[in-house]
Structure 1
């Protein structure tokens, strides 16, 4: 898996708490934060409101299909894409009928 360096600021107290985990688990700060973020995102992906917001972003063209699939799963993303294609065809048909 490729990695990307990111820089961000954390409250001192959170850094202090974060630094205890690597000592206990014999890992490093990066591994600890990566695992915590992974768990958080997995939790969010199962949250229905979050999933709906991600789908809305896809339908509005704010995120690409692959990103949608990463977050809600490929099967659900395929269903959303199929629905979007039907809606888009309906919009095009409505526009075409309105012109004539």
Structure 2
């Protein structure tokens, strides 16, 4: 019988256990560039944990719509100047709606 650790190790690569930023297979799903640096290292928006450093926040995939995630992140860490989901950057109009 396998131990709990063996099962977890089989599911998660060991190299990701200490990673400072959440990453999907090809990198983070959400990426936000903030208007001002944040002192907050973590923020929860759209049911997903963002890891933040200076003016960049990154997170894995969420079940919520990207605009909703962006708006919730703005409430947590402040205005964004850029936001993308799965590599698709928000337009200027979407950024304005996010920051509203």
Say yes or no: TM over 0.5: no
TM-score, normalised by the number of residues in structure 1 = 0.33
Larger radius of gyration: 1
